[in-house]
Structures are given as structure tokens and as C-alpha cells.
Structure 1
Amino acid sequence: MIYAEIKTGDAEGTYLAHSINSHKGRLGKGHHLTSSDINDLLMSDIATITTIRLEEHDIHEDLAAAQLGQFVSGRGVKTSLAFTGRCNIYSTEHGVFETTPQDIDKINSIDEAITLATLSSYSVVHPDQLVATAKIIPLAAPSQALEQTKGLAQLTVHPFKKFKTGLILTRLPQTKKSVLAKTQMVVNQRLKSCVNELSETTIVDHTPTAIATAINTLRKSNHDLILIFGASAIVDRQDALPKGLELSGGDIEHFGMPVDPGNLLLLGNHSGCKIIGLPGCARSPKLNGFDWILQRILAGLNVNRNTIMQMGCGGLLSEIPTRPQPREKIPSEISHNAPKVTAILLAAGQSRRMGPENKLLQKWHGKPLVKWVADNIGESQVDHTIVVTGHEAKLVQKTLSQNDVEYVHNPDFTDGLSTSLIKGLMAVPADSDAVLICLGDMPSINGTQLNQLIKAYDPENGAAVCVPTFEGKRGNPVLWNKSFIPEMLNLKGDSGARHLLGNYPEDLQEVIMDNTSVLSDIDTPEALSNLRETSFTK
């Protein structure tokens, strides 16, 4: 590429190195200059401009990005049209994303003009979720360098498959029925997040003989996957659960894993069926080593001893508060770093109960309701805001044009609230700690109240979900730890995530508020009239 400041009259056919304004408007960086553009610039008294002229072996950024995207795309992914040197790559499946980090490194080492960024390998992804982006840094890439990227890496999404899965729960005399019931529920929720569910659950005594009998019974009914949750943790290959597996005629492939929590996991097989002895931490919905094994198996990936032993890098997962022996006590003065919170502002609905008018655009004290909500979020400690649009999307975006927000459009907004929530959740940045789900018709909740929820958030001490209350009644918005996102991505119809609250009483923190704003959404003309009659307090 030839980068130079030249006379405007000589610039036809080159590309702008920097954006520039003329009397007809703005020409962006990378714009291909035409004779009409040149005349416009000269009439605007712009005598010289900085341009880039492509040489023989240069490939324009958009074409180069598109080619790189195609080179690395395997099964289960699709590419977008390249724009400003970027080609985004999206999943077409609900499953497990796979690539090889060393291969990505090879591509990024070829030439500084060529970059490829991806999700971590073995991430669970959904259709239309961004899994990678190919970006050309300057306005062109060398053709020879681009050619070297061919065949170096492949991005693949393995869709979840249906498995006939059985669960064996063992009991001791002191085992509570409620513990067994909760264990079954949590295991089934994990399966549902991967498009599966338990077909059979059996409860037996915590003895090798009883376990062996249960395994053989499930194998006779053609179960593809058997999960065993012991009444006590496995401590050795001679323990009841491993011995029961061997007594049934099965084999132990590996005991233990370099993932914490999740160390005490047992991997085995019986006549082609995978057997997993679950670690005690799998009673919690929080991420642990069992999740990594389960997700890969359900996506049809091979899991063996070597798979497990290669999980150590990145295997130090967040602590589960209920564990009796935390790895390390962190001094209180440094243990509560401010969480990174992403707000999802749901602004896609048709507001049918309000009548023909879009309730979000109705004004209160001179400002549309949705603008109040966005402004209040902006005044809080929220780091990033995603606005989900649907009905009258352009009007909503125009109303929020001065707000620093990201927009995600939901073309299926008529199918219910859950579709908008899922669209927003799929756009949450990977480095977010928590998600604050906000309704666009609750304008009187201020930034101070939002900060109360964020301050109360402490997942290490039983406050992974924070719910505002007034006089004992629960309201909105609700702050969720990001670990709940996979489950929320399976919501259906016109319901949000509130019904999940009852599943996690040990993770729920109620935050008392001093007024009714957290209970008041504006759904009807009467509610709007009542709001307008109230005194204004900021």
C-alpha cells in the first residue's frame, strides 16, 4: 500500500486514510474516492487529502476479511458480509464451539495485517451467536500472507445430540429426601440447557452391589449415558461408586480432574455407554468441571483420560460458597471488587394493553418512559447497556440517540418477552460478571436504587441473584450472576426469568427499597395517568 498526502485532484481511485467532512456530508475512512467525491472535496476547499493506493499484491480489507472468514469456517458456522475490514462468524447451531488455540496463534503470527479472534474453545453457543471475528487491521492485506492462512484453522460448532440419560442417586441413612430431590432437579436443568433431559432416575443404597445392579438395569434399557451421584464424595478408586462400576462389568477410564471445583469426578464406560461419577459440587448450579465433561459428551465429542488431563489451564473456576473448605480465605478489604454489570433494557414489546400508542414513547415530565429508564441506567454503576428493540425499533433508537447504548434487534418480538430477553443475553460481553434485566416501562426506578442492587450482589456469599422488594413484594429489575445465562437462554413464550427464582433460594438476596417504584410498570392508560398524577422526585 502507498500511504501519502496528495493533491485532491489526483486522488480519484484511491481510498481515504481518514474520515473527512465536505459540504455534502462525511466520507468515512476507507471510502473509495470517485470523480464525484473529488469534485465535492474541491468545492469544499479541501486541496490535499491523505490517501492509500493499493498495489498489485494488496487485497482490499473487506475482500481479505471475507476470504479469511471462509478459510476458517467449518460445520455449524456462517459468515456475515464483510464491512470496514471485519467479517463476523456466527454459530448456526446450539452446541459446543471447537477450535485449536495453537492454530489461531499461527494465523495471527503470519502478518500484523491479519487477525482472528474467537471464543474459547468448547464454549457453549446458540444459533446466531458471534463465535469469531476476522479483522484486517489496515485497509488492505498482502495476498501472499492471506494465502498462508488457508487450512491452518477450522471453527466448528458441534450441535447437541439427544442422549437417553439415566441418573443413579445413592443414599445413606442420614441422606435427606430433599437433598436427593434437589440433586435430581439440578442435574436435569443441566441436561435441559444442552437440549436433553433425564429419562429415568433410580435411588439405591450407597453400596457397590446396589450401584452395580442399577448400572446394569439402565444398560439393559439402552441408556446412552449414565450419571451417578453418590451420597458421599468419591475419595479413592476403591470407594463404593468406582467399585460398583467395576462390579457391573464396566471400566474406570480416569478418576479426578485438574478442574476446581470438580476435582472428584469419575469417568468410566460400560459396553459403549459413558458413565460419570459426579463430584459433590454438581449439586450447585454454578459452573464446575462436570459441566465441561457433560457438554462435550452431549455434543458428540470424544471425552477420555487425555481430554480431562488437558483441562488444567483455565480450570481454576469460581469458588462455590457452600463448599466446606474454601481454597483460600481472601481478606475482606480486597474480596469485593466492583462487579462488571451489563444491563439489558427490554424495549421491543407492542404494548397492546396501552392501546394504539407505544407505551415506551409516552411522555412523563417531558421525557419518554424508555428514555427515563435508559438515563437512570446511565447514572448508575452499570458498565454497559444493551437495548433490545422490536416494535417501532427506529423510533426507540431515535429516542435514545444521545444514550451510550448497544442495540440488538429482535425480529421475533411478537413471539413473547422471552425472545427479546434471549437476544439481549446472547449479546452480553464475555467479561461481564452479572446481568441486570430492566423493563422499558418502569421509569421511576432511579440510579440509586440500581446501585443498591449492585452493591448487594455477592455471589460468593449467597447473593448471586438480587431482587428488589417493597413491603415484602418482589419487583424489578433483577440482577443475575452470569452463570444463570445458559438456563435463561432456554426460556419460552411470554415469560421472563422470574420463575427461576424459586429454584435457587440459597442464591437469592432480597434488597429492600423505600418506595413502590420497583413494583410499578406502566402497562395501561390508567397506570400512565396515575404516574402523571404523582409528584416528581429524582
Structure 2
Amino acid sequence: CGEAYPAKHGGACQACTGDDPFVRATAPRPRLTAVPVEQAVGRKALHDMTSVEPGKSKEALFTAGQTLEAGDLCRLQRMGRMHVYLADDAAPGPDFVHEDDAAKALAEALCESGAIATAGPPREGKITLVAARSGLLAVDAGRLQALNALCDVALSTLHDATLVSQGQALGGVRAIPLFLHRQVLDRALALCGAGGPLCDVAPLRAARAGALITGTEVFTGLIEDKFAPVLARKLEALGSELAEVRFAPDSAADIAAGARQLLDAGCDLILTTAGMSVDPGDVTMNGLLEAGLEDAVFGMPVLPGNMTLLGRLGDAPVMGVPACALFHAVTSLDLLLPRVLAGRTITRADLAAMGHGGFCANCARCTFPHCPFGK
């Protein structure tokens, strides 16, 4: 293609492969003619026109296609609209798409999976996206960034892995200019549909969880267990239940037997507690491996919650919950449990990425999840 590109991109030109990170600052614009408002009476507005009253309101007082009347002149002038674009004067040609039509096309592509819906018709080239069901928001951050690198389109979302309720606003898509170049729209639509939904909402399954409380001091009754109520509360908040609780001493064989008992009892999510640090009695991992633990990933860059374990026993996900969950109100468990219930496959790379934003500030007044932790 003759395009120069940075050596760090490797041997293949990204423009030729369709990624095209080398975009001009502005896309082509059609030539439009504005007329004085005095000449607009009896004619139709080309686009929405917004009035802003600081601290009070921001709304479109005039909408696209609305016939302007003599009584509207003063309001338009007070809005700073001394000249306006009119629908019957606009002839942008086939290479351009009106902002509302472009926003509608983008929203339809983003909503194709059925998990996301629109809050209403386009206004000023913008459409708000809402969750069509409750669950865990999934955002393909790479494609989101690629789309926003294009000229004249914008897609804003909540963070990936945010819990959303049905009807909750989760993002907004917009065509920035009054008329969007069709080539830009086509490229944006291709990004929306390439490789599955760019944005999705995964429902949380209602798990029948089993807890394996480890520790000889609890098993023998030297101290009272405080872990089961913590787990039950967090599960119930996400629509699941703590159906079974078993206790095991610091013995790999007993821990393995306890895990098998939970599976035999019909538990489809296994939560083990503590026993994964460096003390001689920390043998929970050994016991789970003896029980048949597969795809084990241990340790993650989240504080509190470094000593977290993920894996599976058969089809049942396994989460090893570190002892810090007894003390801290919010830990790695609160970040991972929704992902597990949503059926996400969590890899070592996923955990590694959580180090950015994975430090809890232990605020005097906790506002999780409305805070930077886990973002």
C-alpha cells in the first residue's frame, strides 16, 4: 500500500491486514450551506439543536426534520444559533451518512446478540445502550480501542466485568460529525461484528456451591468457623447458594476426600478456604491435586487476595479462597466470583492483567464496586 509503519509492528503492515492504525486526523466532510435563521421559517431543520442551561438542563429543543416557525427565531438566537442547516439544502451525496442513521446502524450491530438494547431513538447522533438482561458485562477492549481509533465515531462503555442489571445504561455510541463518511461507518461496523459481540452481557448461573473449610483448629473445634457465613453472603448476593459445608483437618488426604464428598453431594462450584500459604500445615493445594484438580492457576497480583487458587474438578469450577477474606470486606474473591458464575475462562494472562488496579486502598468508607479496585 506504500504506507510507512513502525518497525515494532513486525513484518506485516497493519494497514494491509485491515487494522490500519494510520488514520488521518479528520475524515472527509460534505459541503453544507448554512442560512440565517430569518430565512429558515417554514423549512425543516437538518439536525437536532441543543439548548444548555448550566446546572439545570441540556436537551434538544429542536429535532431533525422539525419545521421551524417564526416563534422559534428568538429561541434559536438565544441558543446562539444565528445560522442553521436545513434539510432541503443538504445534499451530501452517497458517500455520507446522517449522524442519526449512522448511530442507529452502529447500535444495531452492537445489539445483534440480544444481550444489549437501545434506550431510545438517536438524538444528536448518539444512542445510549442498556443491558437487555442482568449479568456480567463483557467488553472486547482491543476491538473497542480499534473502533475508537477511527475518525468520527465513538463508543464508550462501562468497565469490562462490571455487574449490570436489566435496563441499566452500560454505554453510548455516537457519530461525531453531522454526516459520517460511509467508509468510516463500514469499518466501524466490521469491527462490531468481527469475532463475536464487541459488547455482551453474560448471565450469572445460580450455582449450588459447596464449601470445604480446612484447618485442624476448626475441624477439632478449637475455634469456631467464620468462613462459611462470609461465603454464603457473597454467593447469595449473586443469586447462588451455599448448599453444602464440609470440614477437613490439615491433611491432604482428608481435603481430597472432602472435595469428593462435595461433588458427590451435587455441588457444581467448590470453594476451599485458606491453607494455601507457606506454613507446614498449608496443604489445601496438595489435597485438591490429589482429588483430581485440573487447569490449576495459583497466585494473582491482587491485594488483598494474592494466595488465590483457580481450577476445576471435572466440570465444577474450584476457587481456593485465601484467609484474607475473613478480615477484609473486599478481596480477589469479589472480583473473580462473578466471572466464574458467568462462565468465563480465566487464564494466567487474565490474572496478570488484574495487577493494574488490583490494589485495594482500604478506604475508611468502602464504596466497592463503585471504586477503582479491580478496574
Question: TM class by shorter-chain length?
Answer: 0.7 to 0.9
- Work out which of the residue numbers 82, 89, 113 in structure 2 matches 1:49: 82
C-alpha contact (below 8 Å) 2:138/2:202 kept by paired residues: yes
Q: Which secondary structure does the structure 2 equivalent of 1:122 belong to?
A: coil
* Distance 1:236-1:225 versus aligned 2 partners, 3 A rule: farther
- Work out which of the residue numbers 76, 80, 105 in structure 1 matches 2:145: 105
C-alpha contact (below 8 Å) 1:252/1:266 kept by paired residues: no
Partner of 2:185: 146
* Distance 1:237-1:126 versus aligned 2 partners, 3 A rule: farther
Aligned: 1:122 with 2:161: yes
Unaligned stretches of 5+ in structure 2?
1-29, 53-58, 193-197, 371-375
Name the CA distance, whole Å, in 2 between partners of 1:18 and 1:125: 32
Name the CA distance, whole Å, in 2 between partners of 1:69 and 1:136: 11
1:142-161: per-residue Cα shift (whole Å, max 9, x none)?
Answer: 23212211141321100011
Q: Which secondary structure does the structure 2 equivalent of 1:317 belong to?
A: coil
- The TM-score normalised by the length of structure 2 is 0.74
Aligned: 1:77 with 2:116: yes
Partner of 2:7: none
Please report how far the alpha carbon of residue 235 of structure 1 lies from its aligned counterpart in structure 2 after TM superposition: 3.2
Please report how far the alpha carbon of residue 264 of structure 1 lies from its aligned counterpart in structure 2 after TM superposition: 0.6
Please report how far the alpha carbon of residue 219 of structure 1 lies from its aligned counterpart in structure 2 after TM superposition: 1.8
- Work out which of the residue numbers 240, 243, 248 in structure 2 matches 1:196: 240
- Work out which of the residue numbers 275, 278, 282 in structure 1 matches 2:321: 278
Unaligned stretches of 5+ in structure 1?
22-26, 320-458, 465-480, 486-538
1:453-481: per-residue Cα shift (whole Å, max 9, x none)?
Answer: xxxxxx44xxx3xxxxxxxxxxxxxxxx3
Q: Which secondary structure does the structure 1 equivalent of 2:306 belong to?
A: coil
1:81-107: per-residue Cα shift (whole Å, max 9, x none)?
Answer: 222322111112221110111111111
* Distance 1:75-1:20 versus aligned 2 partners, 3 A rule: closer
Larger RCO (CA within 8 A; separation ≥ 6): 2
1 or 2, which has the higher helix percentage? 1
C-alpha contact (below 8 Å) 1:262/1:289 kept by paired residues: yes
C-alpha contact (below 8 Å) 2:214/2:247 kept by paired residues: yes
* Distance 1:171-1:89 versus aligned 2 partners, 3 A rule: same
Q: Which secondary structure does the structure 2 equivalent of 1:106 belong to?
A: helix
1:54-102: per-residue Cα shift (whole Å, max 9, x none)?
Answer: 4224333322222211112234211122223221111122211101111
Aligned: 1:31 with 2:63: yes
* Distance 1:115-1:252 versus aligned 2 partners, 3 A rule: closer
Query: 5 Å matches for 1:501-516?
Result: none
Name the CA distance, whole Å, in 2 between partners of 1:75 and 1:222: 32
C-alpha contact (below 8 Å) 1:187/1:283 kept by paired residues: no
Name the CA distance, whole Å, in 2 between partners of 1:266 and 1:316: 18
Name the CA distance, whole Å, in 2 between partners of 1:255 and 1:204: 21
Name the CA distance, whole Å, in 2 between partners of 1:101 and 1:115: 14
Please report how far the alpha carbon of residue 217 of structure 1 lies from its aligned counterpart in structure 2 after TM superposition: 1.1
Partner of 1:482: 367
1:393-429: per-residue Cα shift (whole Å, max 9, x none)?
Answer: xxxxxxxxxxxxxxxxxxxxxxxxxxxxxxxxxxxxx
Aligned: 1:68 with 2:102: no
Query: 5 Å matches for 1:97-496?
Result: 97-111=137-151, 113-153=152-192, 154-173=198-217, 181-230=225-274, 232-235=275-278, 239-251=282-294, 253-284=296-327, 286-319=329-362, 459-460=363-364, 464=365, 481-483=366-368
Name the CA distance, whole Å, in 2 between partners of 1:107 and 1:142: 14
* Distance 1:37-1:238 versus aligned 2 partners, 3 A rule: same
Please report how far the alpha carbon of residue 173 of structure 1 lies from its aligned counterpart in structure 2 after TM superposition: 3.0
- The TM-score normalised by the length of structure 1 is 0.53
Cα RMSD (Å): 3.4
Aligned amino acid, residue 15 of structure 1:
L
C-alpha contact (below 8 Å) 2:45/2:68 kept by paired residues: no
